Amino acid sequence: MHQLTVIVPLYNEEENLLRVEQKLGEYAEKSSVPTQILLVNDGSTDDSLKMVREICERSEYFSYISFTKNAGLSAAIKAGIDHVSTSLTGYIDSDLQTDPEDFEVLLKKINNYQLVNGYRNQRKDSFKKNLSSTVANNVRNFFTKDGMYDTGCPLKIMHTDYAKRIPFFKGLHRFLPAMIMLQGGKVIQIPIRHYPRIAGTAKFGLRNRLIKPLIDCFGYLWMKRNYIHYEVGEKHLK
């Protein structure tokens, strides 16, 4: 039977953390597979780390790692994956604009795919944010040809063995489906619910939504060209 660890990267999210504790704790209690929550504090400068410690003291479902300084979302996801020991790895943002209960929707497909990606069917963001993300996704899809039109959706489940083989670089969180496919894995996208941000502020501006993803596409192309992938047809080892 599968077990799931949900990675929750966070940076200066003190206003959201009690909701994170409540919503993810409730999900862990009733999940269809045994579930743990791994909070990754990305060098927060507010009271996030203090609150994270308190949450992990209160709840058996929560654990955490904390960076000494801010390293970015890709680094937080990578650190989370490095510390996962369960067969499945999930990812959700700490703003909870996606619903932890929708992990159940993704879990229904995980036996046949190595990554199940949510996509925000009716996205509840501003016009500017939606437009910039649409443009960035179209550009990224032009380079990767992975068929994903919401790769940045913060609700995913991956097989951990595939996730651990991803060679991470800054910005690679935008290319997780493509990197699974480079390994010969199968990916699928499933519609999920999306909500407006209730508390805190978004950490990504226009540059991070448009310019940086374009630059990262060239990094992905280099990675794809140089990625080592092989299959052993036969062996006799002693």
Is a pLDDT exceeding 60 seen at residue 206? no
Is a pLDDT exceeding 80 seen at residue 3? yes
pLDDT of residue 238: 75
pLDDT of residue 106: 97
Indicate the burial class of 201 (C-beta count within 10 angstroms; 0-12, 13-18, 19 or more): exposed
Which residues lie closer than 8 Å to 225 by C-beta, 6 or more apart?
none
Lowest average pLDDT, out of 51-60, 76-85, 123-132, 145-154, goes to 123-132
DSSP state of 13: -
Q: Average pLDDT, stretch 20-35? A: 97
How far CA 45 is from CA of 11, 66, 67, in Å, comes to: 8, 12, 11
Q: What is the pTM of this model?
A: 0.82
Write phi, then psi, for 22 (nearest 5 degrees): -65, -55
Average pLDDT of the residues of the chain: 85
pLDDT of residue 204: 52
Indicate the burial class of 182 (C-beta count within 10 angstroms; 0-12, 13-18, 19 or more): buried
Task: Read off the pLDDT band of 2 (50, 70, 90).
Answer: confident
3-state secondary structure at position 29: helix
| One-letter identity of residue 138 | N
Sign of the four-CA dihedral 7, 9, 10, 15: negative
DSSP H stretches of helix in the chain: 17-30, 48-58, 73-82, 103-107, 127-144, 160-164, 176-182, 206, 212-226
CATH of domain 4-226: 3.90.550.10
Q: How many CA within 13 A on the CB side of residue 34?
A: 7
pLDDT of residue 169: 72
Sorted by where each begins, the domain ranges of the chain are 4-226
Lowest average pLDDT, out of 61-75, 76-90, 163-177, 188-202, goes to 188-202
